[in-house]
Amino acid sequence: MTNNAHTARARGAAIEQLAAQWLSDHGLTLVAHNYCVKGGELDLVMWDSDILVFIEVKHRTTTRYGHPLETVTYQKQQRLVRAARHYIARHGLSSSCRFDILAITGKPPTLEFNWVKAAFDAF
């Protein structure tokens, strides 16, 4: 792995940590992060009261080439749904769930958070 890949991965992990803290400050409780299954990864899994929330975190320093929300394509949504179904089955859960996107723009410490609740449906 190149140094650029290590740097990008470290930057991504730092942004996800800031995202988890920001969401916690807004009432959610962290359950898991970077939950990986074949063909998909869940950035953050959190509780919002009694609703299990799967959160895709997207960050861009600038919107020059598009907003981070635009990167969550239908194919990406399908991978997230598959990973979420695996998570639910593996943990024997039966609660309501939703898929949120947290789009972050800027560079630390000046970040702008755009939280889209129920951004897409699983079915």
Q: What is the pLDDT along the chain (123 residues), one digit of tens a residue?
A: 566 666 878 888 899 999 999 999 999 999 999 999 988 899 999 999 999 999 999 999 998 888 999 999 999 999 999 999 999 999 999 889 999 999 999 988 899 999 999 999 875
Q: Which residue has the tokens 């995202």?
A: 19
Question: What does DSSP say about strands 51-60 and 97-107: parallel, antiparallel, or unpaired?
Answer: parallel
Q: Please state the φ and ψ torsions of residue 8, each to the nearest 5 degrees.
A: -65, -40
Report the alpha-carbon angle 44-18-20, nearest 5.
30
Range of the domain at 46: 3-120
pLDDT at residue 6, rounded to an integer: 66
Interatomic CA distance for residues 73 and 41, integer angstroms: 15
For the chain, how many structural domains are there in total? Answer: 1
Do residues 54 and 100 lie in contact, with contact meaning Cβ atoms separated by under 8 Å? yes
pTM for the whole structure: 0.91
Beta bridge partners, 59, equal: 104
Beta bridge partners, 120, equal: 99
What CATH number is associated with residue 74? 3.40.1350.10
